[in-house]
Chain A
Amino acid sequence: MVFSSLTFFCFYLPTVLGVYYISPRKLKNFVLLVTGLIFYAWGEPRYVFVMIASAFIDYIAGRIIASSDENDFRRRTACLVISVCMNLALLGVFKYSSFIIGGINEIFGTVFIDPKLPLPIGISFYTFQSMSYTIDLYRGKIKVQKNIVDFMAYITMFPQIVAGPIVTYDKIEGQLKDRSIGLDRMSDGVCRFVNGLGKKVLLANNVGLLWEEVKAMNYSELSLVTAWLGIIAFAFQIYFDFSGYSDMAIGLGKMLGFDFPENFNYPYEAISITDFWRRWHITLSSWFRDYLYIPLGGNRKGTARTAFNLLVTWSLTGLWHGASLNFILWGAYFGILIIIEKFITGKYIALIPKFPAKILTFVLVLFGWVLFETNTVMDSVDYFKAMLGLNGIIADSTSLYAVVNYGIILVVCAVGSTSFVKWAGKFFGKLKIDFTVVAKPFIILGIMLLSLAYLVSDGYNPFLYFRF
């Protein structure tokens, strides 16, 4: 199930919240566990057992690590290795087997059969969450979770299971045992959820239609303006889609009494690529920093090793997004940019004015999105050519079409992806009557009704010729 569906919104959510609120405190985690499994099984009725099994193994591994003697290094390590390898193996089998087998066949001319396994929903997220638990336990950073219901609830609770944020166990350890909702958290939760819903349904889906059209075109005939409008549309689509989803997750978390970590912080206002990754999918980049980059030695082992560590970390961050060469290149592209910033240009960033730095960063990110979103490397190259005007067409009728049909939504997205709204809110907040507060219920109602209108229309598919 996804949050942005009528079924979730009008049936699953009120039912689950109702049951959750009336359940006694001791049973709340059990309710989370069961409803999370239903939520997951709704979209993945077969592979729900994979998730249960992997969570169970991590639970057992955790118990053994905790019960082992502090000095029994081998037993503790063995459990950690089993847990990490099992999680990585799940990712390897379900997410990367086609890619790896295809690659081997291509290079060595072999004919290994590709099992073509479907990618279970959320597997990239829950394996990472699960690993954070056993690794941190091994490091002695957290206490063992003896209650299996609490542990399973942590893995399966519905807000974050499908698309994050990646909530590492240490962030939520205390809240699993003891949490309260209260008026403030509840109203924050409602606002965050509705805000995220609007971002996803009203902005991301609509601006995404433009990219859908541009993506399907022949890149070698694309005009410069169309190419830029197309990839800008995609940049907004993925931002509002993903951050909207995170907002909804964080909001739902608050309605359940949890404080999940933030995942986005106006990434398109970043003044450098390093800065961008502090603002984009924060829980993922922190995960890679804490569980890969720093264990590799981080920046403590000299320039060459630091550069190597950065490149490895970012290539794998790229690969995490999907099993294809494009994603590795996309990650490596950012790795290289970050290395350049770290060792060469970093000193000067403070010297240039903010606005050009933001624009430059945004453009570099856009080039990154081309690598990310086009299907093959050749397609990326063709798309770059179009963006650089090498197709020899500045603008054509398609550009005009894009501007007429999508101009306003692009502007709305541009404004919405900056902190302008927040700034305007502060401005209005200083007036005698605080409009931002008074308007809140109306804004909530408006976004909800509009989102419902767009969600309903998704299924609106009149069939013309059937009765004619």
Chain B
Amino acid sequence: MDKIIKIISIAVFFITVLFFTVLTVILPKFEFSEAENRTLSQFPELSFKSVYDESFMNGAETYVSDHFAFRTSLFSVKINVDRLFGKNIVNGVLFLEDRFVMPVTDIDENNIERNVLSLNEFAKNTSVPVYVMIAPTSAGVYASEIPSYYANADQRTIIENISYELDNGIIALNPFSILSASRDEYIYYRNDHHWTTYGAFIAYNATIKLMGYNPVPFSNCDIEHVNSSFYGTLYSKTLYDGFRADVIDNIHVKGGYSEESVEIYTGTDTMKSESMFFSHFLDLSDKYSYFLNRALYPEVTIKTNYPEENNLLVIKDSYAHCFVPFLVQHFSKITMLDLRSISVSQIEDIINTEEFDQILVLYNFENFATDINIRKLSLVK
């Protein structure tokens, strides 16, 4: 008996090791991980230099880890064990009762200050009215559900303070209160860090008057469920699928204006489309890009059938992508710029503020607090 168990133990050990060795070698390799949303590493080149500077060894270890057999399954095993052990935070993502949130920690006040100064400088250098909306993330709206022992920035206060520090020439559109009041509605995705289309609609509805327009009432809208199996970025960070899949809605204005053409400048060439909505993303993990494609492209131009010439410039991050479609009701042309993909040398050529009637700066709180590209705006003359 004893002997048999010993043989079995040894066999279990070696079979397990070899099982993973063999499968890691023979299973097909992917360049891109859909679940993690990132490019996986390549096997390093073997040379005297790469061995000498250890890049070969480090590269080989990363490669083995990136292409390890059953990698994502093993990762979910880990998450579930962590959860059993009472751990509630994984890769910075916190498990609440019915959703993930990503608390914003380590606020760099100097960076916020610098971004505010850049906006003030930007507004001073143009005669076009500038509007700034900083949208809270779900960690801000659901802050009261986050146990106090987790670090989490007080988004309400910080957003308010930013509004005070913006020059008089800038009008702050602050959606915090209305979003907070609607916290029981489906305004943030459970498994993704974005707001939902409805969340964006509420923010639009509550603030657009400050830009001089009458908002379209919700009763005038049709809701289309375009997808109901969305597991977004917060899922990707944790690979925990215990929360219900998210539903992606598209909100159409009945009998409203609509887009005529959408041009996306990718940095090298221009993609044209007739719609603001890109259904093929609904088949990928990156489903949020259904709205106005991926946020990494430097420039998107939307032309609409709005009857009078009215031009809007939107300086934004991805939160704008499900917000801007509502603005089609008020503008004939909307130009969206993503400063993260525009270099300092290009910025003066790309942005000519005088072409526009209004300028909207729209960021989510976390990006506004951490982004180091907003400062490029101070270069725009």
Contact = CB atoms under 8 A, between A and B. Distances in A.
A191 interface: yes
A296 interface: no
Interface of B: 1-3, 5-14, 16-18, 20-21, 24, 35-38, 51-52, 54, 57, 60-62, 64-66, 68, 71, 74-75, 77-78, 81, 84-89, 91, 147-150, 193, 233, 236-237, 239, 286, 288-289, 294-296, 318
Contacts of B233: 462, 464, 468
B147 A401 contact: yes
Interface string A429-468: 0000000011011001100111011111111111110111
Given A437-B2, A463-B37, 15 more contacts: A13-B17, A46-B52, A183-B7, A184-B6, A400-B149, A401-B150, A405-B86, A407-B86, A440-B9, A441-B8, A450-B77, A457-B74, A458-B65, A463-B36, A467-B286
A374 interface: no
Given A452-B20, A468-B294, A462 B36 contact: yes
A5 B57 CA distance: 12
A458 B6 CA distance: 31
Given A14-B18, A42-B57, A468-B288, A6 B75 contact: no
B2 A405 contact: no
Contacts of A468: 37, 233, 286, 288-289, 294-296, 318
A409 interface: yes
A405 B88 contact: yes
29 contacts: A1-B57, A7-B60, A10-B64, A14-B14, A183-B10, A186-B10, A187-B9, A191-B9, A397-B147, A397-B149, A400-B147, A404-B147, A405-B88, A405-B89, A406-B87, A407-B86, A440-B5, A444-B12, A445-B16, A452-B74, A457-B75, A457-B78, A462-B36, A462-B237, A463-B37, A463-B38, A466-B37, A467-B296, A468-B37
Contact of A9 (B2, B8, B17, B52): B17
A425 interface: no
Nearest to A436: B5
A262 to B, nearest CB: 21
Interface of A: 1, 5-7, 9-11, 13-14, 42-43, 45-46, 183-184, 186-187, 190-191, 193-194, 206, 397-398, 400-401, 404-409, 437-438, 440-441, 444-445, 448-450, 452-464, 466-468
A-B residue pairs, 7 tightest by C-beta: A401-B149, A459-B65, A187-B6, A397-B149, A462-B36, A453-B74, A453-B77
Nearest to A402: B149
Contacts of A454: 78
A7 B6 CA distance: 26
A34 to B, nearest CB: 16
Contacts of A398: 149
A405 B147 CA distance: 12
Contacts of B62: 459
A404 B146 CA distance: 13
A460 B36 contact: yes
Contacts of B66: 459
Nearest to A452: B74
Contacts of A407: 86
Contacts of A455: 65
B95 to A, nearest CB: 11
Contacts of B71: 456, 460
Given A401-B150, A404-B88, A10 B9 contact: no
Nearest to B76: A453
A345 B375 CA distance: 67
A408 B86 CA distance: 7
A10 B13 CA distance: 11
Contacts of A463: 36-38
A163 B289 CA distance: 49
Nearest to B102: A464
Contacts of B37: 462-464, 466-468
A450 B73 CA distance: 11
Contact of B38 (A46, A190, A462): A462
Contacts of A9: 17
B249 to A, nearest CB: 19
Contact of B6 (A13, A183, A401): A183
Nearest to A13: B17
A455 B68 CA distance: 10
A171 B231 CA distance: 58
A29 to B, nearest CB: 23
Contacts of A45: 51-52, 54, 57
Nearest to B13: A190
Contacts of A460: 36, 71, 75, 91, 239
Contact of B236 (A1, A404, A462): A462
Contact of A456 (B14, B52, B68, B149): B68
A467 B86 CA distance: 32
Nearest to A466: B38
